[in-house]
Amino acid sequence: MVAGLLIALVRMLRLPVIDQLLVVYISLARATPLVTLVLFLFLSLPTMGINLDKNVAAIVALTLNTSALTLRSGANAFRTFPREQREAAESVGMRRWTYFRYIMLPQMWIESLPALVNEMSFLIKGSPAIAVIGVVDLTRVTNRISSVTYEPLSPILAAGLLYVVIIGCLLKLQGIAERKARRLAR
């Protein structure tokens, strides 16, 4: 999530070469299925001399995939930011970094929070894609239990319930953060 917001900030600088490279990266990351990215990192990179542990490959794939999608929410939060606030900060002599850190970033965070939580839930639900390279996740554990007990329904229902609880906790935390942000904004 943080990587996506950092990429959004770099894109806002509008550095021509870097911006074009980021556009290519974002297009590729958004168009590529997570499973394909996982397989590419784990199976193709070693042919180029880059060996990644399966857990590292999984983390990198999830990060690359999510950061490209999270970028959108950061960019949208930036675009909707009131220009008057920037002008007011400049008029009182506030430096760009100070303005960004204390005024803009907290408001951008609040504005993009629903999209970030949504992306986090997609990330959690997409995590079984890492099982293709042998990383054990909740779905893989479910399959292992099912193969030992010969009872597939109970483990699958338990895994589904766990996913619901995890996503429910994320949504609850989002609600708490939004209420706190509204209180602070008053």
Which pLDDT value is given to residue 32? Answer: 87
Q: Given a cut of 80, is residue 178 above it in pLDDT? A: yes
* Percent share of the chain, pLDDT over 90: 18
Q: CB under 8 Å, gap of 24 or more: what pairs does 115-119 form?
A: 115/70, 115/72, 115/73, 115/76, 116/1, 116/70, 116/73, 117/170, 117/171, 117/173, 117/174, 119/1, 119/4, 119/66, 119/69, 119/70, 119/73
Which pLDDT value is given to residue 186? Answer: 63
Which pLDDT value is given to residue 1? Answer: 58
**Secondary structure of residue 36 in the 3-state scheme:** helix
Give yes or no for a contact between 3 and 67, defined as CB atoms under 8 angstroms apart.
yes
Q: Which residue has the higher pLDDT, 113 or 93?
A: 93
Which pLDDT value is given to residue 166? Answer: 92
Which pLDDT value is given to residue 110? Answer: 81
Average pLDDT over residues 55-61: 90
Which pLDDT value is given to residue 19? Answer: 82
CATH architecture entry for 2-185: Orthogonal Bundle (1.10)
- Which two structure tokens, joined as six digits, stand for 144? 């292992």
How sure is the predictor about 185, in pLDDT bands with cuts at 50, 70 and 90?
Answer: low
Which pLDDT value is given to residue 65? Answer: 86
CA dihedral 153, 155, 161, 162 (to 10 degrees): -160
- For the chain, the structural domain boundaries read 2-185
Q: Given a cut of 90, is residue 113 above it in pLDDT? A: no
pLDDT digits over 133-174, tens only? Answer: 888 888 888 888 999 999 989 999 999 999 999 999 999 998
Which pLDDT value is given to residue 148? Answer: 92
Tell me how far the alpha carbon of residue 83 is from its chain's centroid: 27
Q: Which residue has the higher pLDDT, 15 or 170?
A: 170
Average pLDDT over residues 60-75: 82
pTM, to two decimals? 0.74
**Secondary structure of residue 138 in the 3-state scheme:** helix
Q: Which of 47-51, 121-125, 129-133 has the highest mean pLDDT?
A: 47-51
